[in-house]
A and B are shown apart, each in its own frame.
Chain A
Amino acid sequence: MHRIRKGLSGMSASLLAILAGLLAGFLILLISNPANALKGLGMVLMGGWNNGMKGVGQVLYYATPLIMTGLSVGFAFKTGMFNIGAAGQLMVGGFVSVYVGATWTFLPGAWHWVVALLLGMLAGSLWGMVVGLFKALLNVHEVITSIMLNYIGMYGINYLIKNSHLFDALKNQTVNVAPNAVIPKAGLDRVFYILKGAYHDASSVNAGILIAIGLALLVYVVLNKTTFGYELKACGHNRHASRYAGISENRAIITSMAIAGGLAGVAGALMYLAPPSGMHIHVAEVLAAQGFNGIAVALLGMSNPIGIIFTGLFIAHITVGGAYLQSLKYMKEIIEVIIGLIIYFSAFSLLVRDVIAAAGRRRARREQARGQEREAD
């Protein structure tokens, strides 16, 4: 009961933060162009619905990597680690997946994408595990290792792509993966589409969103229903106490970073195991934005895997909505400002919780006083 109430007050704090952030965004729209502001806010709130079922599908599509990196960051948070390296883990995982997807054509049928996905996860996991090893064995702060590994991964992948048959020099990106290595649609394209005449204009959504939600549920079970998860969380709460209780802190740090890295690796695999029209790894000196946005998703979802599903969907929702703002001559960057503000306002959650608790106490006191009055009568 206590846990449910705590979860609810946390959720109401997040919802209030979202409300405040949207309000602030509306103010910015008002200041920059008052005439279209209300229409603009409507577009943001409509999100994918601006373009019917296809738009909704796009929301699910964009939410997929966000949920995965959010899970990655959130999982590490639970063990008291700050995984600022999801970007690098995502890119390393994505690269290995593309490599397997484009070259290991001997794999039969669906095995191809499954193996590519699993090896991408493994690669991300190893990349994350390095952070854990450095922290556990050499006492190197996880933030610094993560930042260094982000750049090492980025430059390393650029080098490997440019010097292999994976390079499409004309488009400065990776080549297409084999058809069997593309994440299947799982029938979602027959749900999320719009009709253009007789033509089904389907969205890019695929089974990736189902995999992401499935993994979120799995992470939830591991964290909340297993001894292993309990030990990881115990280390996050108080490492001295957990060491006293016989939990190996080093093992917890290494495994939790390996798992966090694996989750980010899946994000990369799901992004880049895409059809020719979909995403490819660009050879550029830019870190994957999804990695850093994962921090936002995890924070807004309060590191709760179920919460992360919803915040990932929400952020994708208003991002897709924001893209339509350009038709009203607004810059789409406003969405990032709004997301940033929402996250900032979520820092007020403690304040909100205090206010709610104080109100509850006042009510209790009033009722008690009333009860005493009745007794006096």
Chain B
Amino acid sequence: MDAVYFLVQQMMFFSIPLLIVALGGMFSERSGVVNIALEGIMVSGAFTSILLISLLQSGMSGQALLLLAVLVAVLTGMAFSLLHAYAAVSLRSDQTISGTALNMIAPASAIYLARMIQPNGVQQIEFTNTFRIPRVPLLGDIPVLGPMFFRNAYLTTYIGIIIFLAAAFVLYRTRFGLRLRACGEHPQAADSVGINVYRMRYAGVLISGALAGLGGLVYVIPTSTNFNATVSGYGFLALAVLIFGQWKPLRILVAAFFFGLMKTIASAYSGIPILQGLGIPSDIYKMVPFIATLIALAFTSKRSQAPRASGVPYDKGQR
């Protein structure tokens, strides 16, 4: 049973950042803007928030510091994504252009700034992890569920779940969500009933920036003790999770957990007696999440359909 608890705890570290960032991408794409800059935005959010932690950790620690870092990550992501929104929405440029640009600018400037700001002049930003919650009071004592979800946990995991619930609610149960989706399906029609398409698309991209920035921090905190200007392709994986989840919140949740579980098995197989006994080399295990995703997609994508206007700049003059 301990192995199962361990697996679930580990799975959260992989799944939650994917979930948060993919949900962010969902808001952008459902508004009609493809956002391949998720990777770069994650790096930007992780950079400022981890830098903040490393600067403040002598005076602060624990959940208060983490919450402050969350705020900084969100704000950085939003500010950085504004660049993408401006090019993709206001300038009506090809949306892969600014996305690619942001993906190049973020890691390079993170290294550049880290080496300039840090007194020791290195690109890695070290931090001490004081954020792990060994056992949530009361909830941690629930049999089975307690050890799975409320021990060795991070506050960010619960933030991720709340974001999921909020995202599903906003997208399907609010006027804002309806309008956002309309702009991603048929912006001309949305415009004709008085919705400001540009403003909705800005909103979509900014939400994706906020969540991707946060996702960068959420990815780094449990898996490392320093930030080296990379989130190891998680932004691109989140993009894959978004498509795997067919641009719908619940499916994205399933996709993120499916991928996270596969990834956990791949990295922690040596702790699972049955898998250890098979004697399969680690490189093969590492391929499993990607192959499994491809197979799952092959069976589930036949009727998958991206938001119809996603990737198409909206030109009011061409209505």
A residues whose Cβ falls under 8 Å from a Cβ of B? 28, 32, 82, 84, 134, 138-141, 143-145, 147-149, 151-152, 155-156, 158-159, 162-163, 285, 287, 292, 295-296, 299, 331, 333-337, 339-341, 343-344, 346-351
Contacts and interface: CB of A to CB of B under 8 A. Distances in A.
A344 B108 CA distance: 14
Nearest to A335: B108
A151 B109 CA distance: 25
Contact of A334 (B97, B112, B243): B112
Given A148-B290, A331-B111, A348 B304 contact: no
Contact of B306 (A141, A287, A344): A141
A307 to B, nearest CB: 14
Interface in B288-314: 290-291, 293-294, 297-298, 301-304, 306
Contact of B284 (A140, A159, A292, A341): A159
Contact of A343 (B100, B237, B244, B284): B100
30 contacts: A84-B236, A134-B298, A138-B301, A140-B294, A143-B36, A143-B239, A143-B240, A148-B290, A152-B291, A155-B283, A155-B287, A155-B290, A156-B287, A163-B281, A299-B96, A331-B112, A331-B115, A333-B109, A333-B112, A335-B108, A340-B101, A343-B97, A343-B100, A347-B87, A347-B91, A347-B101, A348-B91, A348-B93, A349-B93, A350-B92
B233 interface: yes
Contacts of B103: 292, 340
B116 interface: yes
Contacts of A295: 96, 100
Give 9 nearest A-B pairs by CB, closest first.
A340-B104, A336-B108, A340-B105, A347-B93, A159-B283, A344-B101, A347-B87, A343-B101, A333-B108
B166 to A, nearest CB: 26
A152 B233 CA distance: 13
Interface string B267-294: 0000000000000010110110011011
B306 to A, nearest CB: 7
B116 A32 contact: yes
Given A147-B239, A162-B283, A340-B105, A347 B301 contact: no
A155 B286 CA distance: 7
A285 to B, nearest CB: 8
B101 A138 contact: no
B303 A139 contact: yes
A340 B40 CA distance: 11
Contacts, number: 141
A299 B105 contact: no
Interface in B74-125: 83, 87-88, 91-94, 96-98, 100-105, 107-109, 111-112, 115-116
A147 B236 contact: yes
Interface of B: 36, 83, 87-88, 91-94, 96-98, 100-105, 107-109, 111-112, 115-116, 233, 236-237, 239-240, 243-244, 281, 283-284, 286-287, 290-291, 293-294, 297-298, 301-304, 306
A340 B102 contact: yes
A36 B96 CA distance: 35
A156 B302 CA distance: 28
B104 A145 contact: no
Nearest to A141: B243
A27 to B, nearest CB: 13
A347 B97 contact: yes
Given A32-B116, A333-B112, 11 more contacts: A134-B298, A139-B302, A140-B297, A140-B298, A143-B36, A148-B290, A148-B294, A155-B286, A334-B108, A340-B103, A344-B101
Nearest to B104: A340
A243 to B, nearest CB: 17
B266 to A, nearest CB: 9
A287 B230 CA distance: 12
A145 B111 contact: no
A30 to B, nearest CB: 13
Q: A28, A140, A162, A296 — which one has the most chain B CB atoms within 10 A of its CB?
A: A140
A156 to B, nearest CB: 6
Contacts of A299: 94, 96-97, 100
A159 B301 CA distance: 30
A151 B302 contact: no
Contact of B281 (A28, A159, A349): A159
Contacts of B243: 141, 143-144
A341 B239 contact: no
Contacts of B96: 82, 295, 299
B248 to A, nearest CB: 14
B283 A341 contact: no
A29 B237 CA distance: 34
A139 B301 contact: yes
Contacts of B101: 296, 340-341, 343-344, 347
A80 to B, nearest CB: 10
Nearest to A159: B283
